[in-house]
Structure 1
C-alpha cells in the first residue's frame, strides 16, 4: 500500500517525514512557500543578507528575490559558457573588443573570450582559394583576344585581411583585371596565344601581388594561370589559317634543318676521306721514291762489284716487266734462227669459247688445267720445231762433199 493512500495512518514511509512518526497526521506535500523561504535564507547567507521575519509580506518578497538570484546565476553561467570556442589548425582568430582591434592573433585550440565584449573573426590561412577572370583584351599590335585567367591565393595576414579592406576578394578581382589589362596591352597577340603564356602569367602575378601589398589586403597570390587565350569568334577561322601557315613554315624549317644535318656530316666525311686518300697517296709516292732511291744505291754498289752480271739481271727484270703485260710471246729456240710465236690471246680465247660452249661462266680465268693445256701445246710445238731443225741439219751435212 502506498504511503499516501487512505487508511495508512500508521505507516512511517512518509518521504517528507523526518522520523518514524512523520508529521503527525498531515500526509500532503511540503509547502512551496516554505521551500522558497529556505532557499532564500541560504541565498541570503551567500550574499550577506540576514533572513527576515515570518510574516506573509516578507515571505513573498523573499521568494521573488530568491527567484531573481537564481535567474542571475543561471544567466551568468550561460554567459560564461557561451564564451568558449575552438580555433581549428588551419585557422587563426582576430579579436575585436568593443570594436577595437586586439593586436594578438588567436592560435589554434580551445579558447575563451568574454561574450558581448569580444568578437572573434575566424580566418582560414591554409586553404588555397581560387578566383577566375575572363574578358576581351586589346594587345599592343591592336588585336583583340579573349583571355581567361585563374588565380590561386592564400591569406597571409589574417589581421590585414579582416581589417584593412572591406571586401578583400573584390579588391583581388579588380587587381587581377588591372594587371591582366596592363600586361596583355603591352604584349603582342602571338605571344599571348602561343609560346608567351607562361611569361604573361608570371608578369600578371607579380603586378597583382604588388597591388595586394599596396592595398594591405593580407593576401598572397601563389599562382596565376592563363587558362585560355583565343581570338574573337568572328576572326577565329582566319586566325586558324594563320596558325596552320605558321606551323607549315616551322615544319619546312625543321625539314631543312634535318636535311642540312644529314648532308653536312656526309660532306664533311667525304672531304675528310679525300684528304686522307691524298695523304696516303702522298706517303705512298714518297715512300716508293725513297725505296727506289735506296734500291738504286744498292744496285750501284752491286754494279760496281760485277757490272756484267748486274746489267744482265737488270735486262731480265725489265723484259719480265714488259712481257708480263703482253698477250703475245716470241721465244728464241736454241740452235735455230727462227723465233717461236705463242698467241696467248688466241689460246685463251679458244679456251674461253670451249668453256662457254660447255655451260661454264662467261668470266675468263686460267685455271690449272688450262695452264697445263697451254704448256702441252708449247711443248709439242717445241718438239716439232726441234725435229724440223735436226732434219734440216742432217740434210745439209749429207749435201756437203
Structure 2
C-alpha cells in the first residue's frame, strides 16, 4: 500500500520529506538542514567547531573548503624506481611521469604504472612443418621488457598477447624455411637468430613498445614415432664432427713441426752452400797467390806442398807406418799413440828407454840398407821425419 493511499497511517502521519500530517507538503528548509550540519560539526570538534549561524552561504563555504582539502590530498601518489606512470586526462594520454612523489587532480587524471625494467618471459611451442615436409616439435622462450609505456598500453589492445602471436608467427615462418636435419643439429643457432630478427620486425611494424632481450630455442625434437631414428642420425653426425675435430687437432700439431723442420733444413742447406762456396773461393784465392811462387821455384814449392799435405794427413792419426823403398823390405814402426798417451814420468822410465834404443837400432839398419842409393836415402830421410 502506498504512503499516500487512504488507509495508510504512514501517509497520514508523515510524507517523504519527513513532515507530519498537520504541516504543509514540501521540501525541507535549507536553513534547518545547514543548522543541523553545523551542530554536528560543532559536536565533532568539541563545541569549538565552525558554526553556520543559520547562514547557508557560510555552510557551503566550509563544505567546499573541506572537500577541496580532501580532493587535494587524495591526488598524491608515488611511482616506483623501476616504473613509469602513464597519465590519462579524461581518458586521453597526456604525459609520462618519472619515479618519485607526484600529484594528479582526482577525477580528472588517471595514472597507470608500467614496470619498464623487469625482464618478462614468454614461452612458445608447437608442432610445425619443415621445408622438407617433416614434422618437428619446437619450444622457444622469448625474454623482453617494456621500452615505451605509451605504445605498450595504447598501440595494441594487449601487447603481451600480441607478442605471443608474433612469436608463433615468426617461429613458424623460420621453421618452414629450414630443413629437418638443420633444425635438429647444426642450424639451431641460425634459427634462433632469424626468429629474433623476425620478431623485432613485427614489433616495429605494430609499435608495441616492447624490446626483445633474448630468444632461446629450448628444444627441437622429432615426433615420438621417429625419435629413435633421428637420435641415431644425430649421434652419427656428432661422431663425424668429433673425428673431424680430432683430425684438425692432429694436423695443427704436425704441420708446425714439419714446417719448422723444413725451415731448419733450408737454413742448414743455405749455410752449407755458403760454407762450400766460401771455401772454394778461398782455395781459388790461395791457388792464385801460390801460382806465381810455383812458377818462380817449382821444386821448392812442390816439396813444401807435399810436406804440408803429409802433416795434415798424419796429424789426425796416432799410428804411423813408414814403408822404406829399399830392396830389403824393412818396415819402420813408430808407436806414436803410446808415446802421446804416456805422461812425462812414464816416458822417462827405463822401459821406455830400452824401447827407444831398439827403435834406434832398427832405424840405423834401415839407413845402412839404403845407403848406396842417394835418391832412396833422401826419400827415406824425408819420410822418417813422420
- The interval holding the TM-score normalised by the smaller chain is 0.5 to 0.7
Given that 1:145 and 1:232 are in contact with CA atoms closer than 8 Å, whether structure 2 keeps it comes out as yes
Q: Does 1:222 align with 2:197?
A: no
Following superposition, the deviation at residue 110 of structure 1 comes to 3.4
Corresponding residue to 1:297 among 283, 288, 293: 288
Classify 1:46/1:189 alpha carbon distance in 2 versus 1 (closer, same or farther; 3 Å): farther
> Which residue of the partner structure matches residue 152 of structure 2?
161
Given that 1:329 and 1:343 are in contact with CA atoms closer than 8 Å, whether structure 2 keeps it comes out as yes
Deviations 1:72-102 (A, max 9, x none): 77995797378435141313134252xx424
Structure 2: gaps (5+ residues): 1-32, 41-49, 372-386
Write out aligned runs for 1:169-318 (5 A).
Answer: 169-317=160-308
Q: Does 1:368 align with 2:368?
A: no
TM-score where L is the length of structure 2: 0.64
Corresponding residue to 2:358 among 356, 368, 380: 380
| Matches of 2:255 and 2:308, distance apart in 1 | 50
Classify 1:71/1:274 alpha carbon distance in 2 versus 1 (closer, same or farther; 3 Å): closer
Write out aligned runs for 1:132-143 (5 A).
Answer: 132-143=123-134
Write out aligned runs for 1:76-87 (5 A).
Answer: 76=67, 80=71, 83-87=74-78
Structure 1: gaps (5+ residues): 1-32, 50-65, 352-364, 394-401
| Matches of 1:125 and 1:214, distance apart in 2 | 20
Following superposition, the deviation at residue 174 of structure 1 comes to 0.9
| Matches of 2:53 and 2:314, distance apart in 1 | 156
Deviates more, 1:79-88 or 1:142-151: 79-88
Following superposition, the deviation at residue 172 of structure 1 comes to 1.6
Given that 1:91 and 1:126 are in contact with CA atoms closer than 8 Å, whether structure 2 keeps it comes out as no
> Which residue of the partner structure matches residue 341 of structure 1?
331
Structure 1 residue matching 2:330: 3-state secondary structure: strand
Given that 1:150 and 1:224 are in contact with CA atoms closer than 8 Å, whether structure 2 keeps it comes out as yes
Given that 2:156 and 2:208 are in contact with CA atoms closer than 8 Å, whether structure 1 keeps it comes out as yes
Counting matched residue pairs gives 318
Deviations 1:286-306 (A, max 9, x none): 333333333333333333444
TM-score where L is the length of structure 1: 0.62
Classify 1:146/1:304 alpha carbon distance in 2 versus 1 (closer, same or farther; 3 Å): same
| Matches of 1:204 and 1:74, distance apart in 2 | 61
Classify 1:128/1:267 alpha carbon distance in 2 versus 1 (closer, same or farther; 3 Å): closer
Given that 2:152 and 2:209 are in contact with CA atoms closer than 8 Å, whether structure 1 keeps it comes out as yes
Structure 2 residue matching 1:103: 3-state secondary structure: strand
RMSD: 4.5
| Matches of 1:293 and 1:107, distance apart in 2 | 97
| Matches of 2:93 and 2:263, distance apart in 1 | 84
Deviates more, 1:101-110 or 1:85-94: 101-110
| Matches of 1:243 and 1:265, distance apart in 2 | 34
> Which residue of the partner structure matches residue 85 of structure 2?
92
